[in-house]
Amino acid sequence: MSAAARTLLATGAVCWWAASVEAENSLYWGDVHLHTNLSFDAYINGTRAVGPQLAYKFAQGKAVVSNTGLTVQRKRPLDFLAITDHSENMGFYTRIESGDPRVLGTTLAQRYTKLQLGSYCAKKLVARSRFRPKLARLLLCART
């Protein structure tokens, strides 16, 4: 071994170099684009039970209950997760489903529930005691 190599080893410079090379060549597994029930497109396609907290728990490898009611768990946790919900109407449709009176009277909520009559969301809305009966009758009459 050369004198220069012995000096590098003694000072720890080689260890730093080896660590930086290892970091540059590490492979990380994750998801950089995930929508939860707060985004309109995910919500209308059936992602109704998975909010941001549940998505992070699942990414961490914890057992969670999915939209289908099954308990699911990753075999290996993700190294990272980016929740990228849309800012437009964020959480609006979950608030409609929960019967939030501040949202139900809006034109957008009425249009959405008219489109969804007979679906999971509209049936649940009509069945809720907090849902205003007058609005329920309007929506049911507008079904045509």
Give the residue, 57 or 47, on which the prediction is more confident. Answer: 57
* Token pair of 74 as six digits: 């990753």
Portion of the chain with pLDDT greater than 90, in percent = 31
Average pLDDT, the chain: 76
Q: Among the listed ranges 15-19, 74-78, 98-102, which one has the minimum average pLDDT value?
A: 15-19
Q: Locate the domains of the chain by residue range.
A: 99-144
In whole angstroms, what is the distance from residue 31 CA to residue 39 CA? 17
In whole angstroms, what is the distance from residue 11 CA to residue 32 CA? 39
Q: In this predicted structure, what is the pLDDT of residue 57?
A: 96
In whole angstroms, what is the distance from residue 121 CA to residue 82 CA? 27
